[in-house]
């Protein structure tokens, strides 16, 4: 039987509650589709600071590197908010992305049919549901470029640099094309090539790589237009590939279509099949320990793990379908529907398991 090893970082706040439900779902999917999953727990964030003094212990990096993939809950909380930046829980998030070479961030903006009315976008625009995938470059561009400050004649200035090399663009663009091949074979590359030199290099590179993917229909869009089109006519998009800063902004915008932060999954991929899977939301300290957190974003992140790291497509589809069915039978308070029973975190996990 195939066996997959998963490093599990439960983290802080609601992290342990939502990860426990996700492990139940992974186990159920394994039982049904004939694979085994084994888990190795490790610390990151506030709980790691309490236990070891640092947010990302070396042991955690080692365990993650020795695993097939990583499942992460969420980190952070008020208790650690006054620590200096490099010792705060969130430093662990940046540190682990760098340590594991996670250069591609995949954020699905998917709305399940039962939640269409929870979206801020009108039903007539959404139709029966939406399914967009934003592929964001995660380790380059302006967030990592040269920056500084200066002062001349008493006037202060500051600058940040958007810089991309051709190999950096090639590898993220290939992730976009490969994903488009597996989906509806449409890829939209987003840039600002009318103004930025780095975007012109981006576009040239996309055009060159596109020759390797003749089956994929490629389009280009300026980022300002894309921001508008995501609200005006989101159904025109399937896979969007873009730079770090544009992806940061557009993926947040696109994800709001789904209606609730408790539904939003993500994957961060390295070269090969290794990836880290986590919900978009944080550790929600306001509801931690109350047993009411929505575990579906983490469960949907695990579905991405099944698809992208393990190639278990049937199991991934089954988990997503089970989430869809569960949403018709009950809801956690964040997505409550008066016509349906209100469920706890554990009851929602059980319902997904039942529907697999
Ligand atoms: P948050 O995402 O934790 O919470 C925002 C709001 O959404 C809260 O009202 C919360 O109750 C609700 N919410 C979030 N997830 C939910 C879920 N699964 N089910 C139901 N409701 C949910 O953002 P925040 O309050 O700004 O941050 C709290 C802590 O999390 C901070 O320490 C922050 O730094 C950290 N954080 C961590 C990550 C991460 O681990 N990747 C991401 C964002 C924020």
Residues 129 and 240 in one domain: yes
> What pLDDT digit, counting tens, does each position of 289-298 carry?
999 999 999 9
**From 20, 143, 163, 185, active-site residue:** 143
Residues 132 and 249 in one domain: yes
Domain that holds residue 209: 120-257
CATH number at residue 136: 3.40.718.10
Label the pairing between strands 275-279 and 69-74.
parallel
How many Å apart are CA 132 and CA 38, to the nearest integer?
Answer: 31
What pTM does this model have?
0.93
Together in a domain, 267 and 211: no
Number of domains in the chain: 2
Q: Quick one: which atom of ligand 1 is closest to the CA of 76?
A: 32
Residue of the nearest CA to atom 44 in ligand 1?
282
Do 285 and 224 lie in a common domain? no
- The answer to whether 236 touches 226, Cβ cutoff 8 Å, is no
User: Which residue from 244, 245, 232, 265 is spatially nearest to 111, judged by alpha carbons?
Assistant: 265
User: In terms of C-beta density within 10 A (0-12 exposed, 13-18 middle, 19 or more buried), how is residue 18 classed?
Assistant: buried
The finding on whether 288 has its CB within 6 A of some atom of ligand 1 is: no
* Pair 27, 126 in one domain: no
Kindly state whether residues 251 and 139 are assigned to the same domain.
yes
Token duo for residue 6: 């998963």
Bridge partners for 71 per DSSP: 8, 277
282 CA → ligand 1 middle, Å: 3
Mean pLDDT of 229-255: 93
Please, which contacts does 329-338 make with residues 24 or more away whose CB atoms are closer than 8 Å? 329/355, 332/262, 332/292, 332/293, 332/294, 332/295, 332/296, 333/292, 334/260, 334/261, 334/262, 334/292, 334/294, 335/115, 335/118, 335/259, 335/260, 335/262, 335/263, 335/294, 337/114
pLDDT for the residue 55? 97
Distance 288 CA to ligand 1 centre (A): 10
Return the pLDDT at 260: 79
Average pLDDT over residues 190-202: 98
Ligand 1 pocket member 284 (CB < 6 A): yes
Q: Is residue 108 part of a domain?
A: no
Helix (H) or strand (E) holding 24: helix 15-33
Inside any domain, residue 42: yes
Is 204's pLDDT higher than 90? yes
6 belongs to a structural domain: yes
Catalytic annotation present for 143:
yes
- Mean pLDDT for the chain overall: 95
Closest C-alpha residue for ligand 1 atom 37: 282
Dump pLDDT digits (tens) for 138-184.
Answer: 999 998 899 999 999 999 999 999 999 999 999 999 999 999 998 99
Ligand 1 close to Cβ of residue 136 (< 6 A): no
């Amino acid at each position: 039987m195939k066996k997959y090893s998963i490093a599990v970082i439960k983290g802080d706040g609601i992290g342990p509650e939502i990860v426990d439900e996700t492990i139940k779902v992974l186990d159920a999917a394994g039982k049904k589709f004939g694979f085994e999953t084994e888990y190795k727990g490790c610390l990151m964030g506030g709980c790691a600071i309490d236990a070891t003094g640092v947010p990302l212990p070396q042991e955690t990096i080692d365990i993650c590197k020795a695993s097939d993939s990583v499942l992460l809950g969420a980190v952070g909380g008020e208790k650690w908010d006054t620590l200096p930046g490099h010792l705060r829980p969130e430093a662990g998030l940046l540190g682990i992305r760098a340590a594991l070479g996670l250069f591609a961030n995949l954020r699905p903006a998917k709305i399940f049919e039962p939640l269409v009315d929870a979206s801020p976008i009108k039903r007539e625009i959404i139709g029966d549901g939406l399914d967009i995938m934003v592929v964001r470059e995660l380790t380059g561009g302006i967030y990592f470029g040269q920056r500084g400050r200066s002062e001349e004649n008493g006037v202060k200035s500051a600058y940040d640099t958007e810089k991309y090399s051709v190999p950096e663009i090639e590898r993220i663009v290939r992730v976009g094309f490969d994903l488009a091949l597996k989906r509806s074979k449409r890829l939209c590359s987003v840039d600002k090539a009318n103004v930025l030199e780095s975007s012109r290099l981006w576009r040239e590179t996309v055009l060159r790589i596109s020759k390797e993917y003749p089956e994929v229909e490629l389009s280009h869009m300026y980022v300002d237009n894309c921001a508008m089109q995501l609200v005006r006519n989101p159904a025109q998009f399937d896979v969007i590939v873009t730079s770090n800063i544009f992806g940061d902004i557009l993926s947040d915008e696109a994800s709001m279509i789904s209606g609730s932060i408790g539904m939003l999954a993500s994957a961060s991929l390295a070269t090969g099949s290794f990836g880290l899977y986590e919900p978009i939301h944080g550790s929600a300290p306001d509801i931690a320990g109350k047993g009411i957190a929505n575990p579906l974003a983490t469960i949907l992140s695990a579905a991405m793990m099944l698809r992208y790291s393990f190639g278990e497509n049937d199991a991934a589809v089954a988990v997503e379908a089970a989430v869809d069915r569960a949403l018709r039978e009950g809801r956690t308070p964040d997505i409550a529907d008066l016509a349906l029973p209100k469920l706890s975190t554990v009851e929602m996990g059980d319902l997904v398991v039942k529907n697999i």
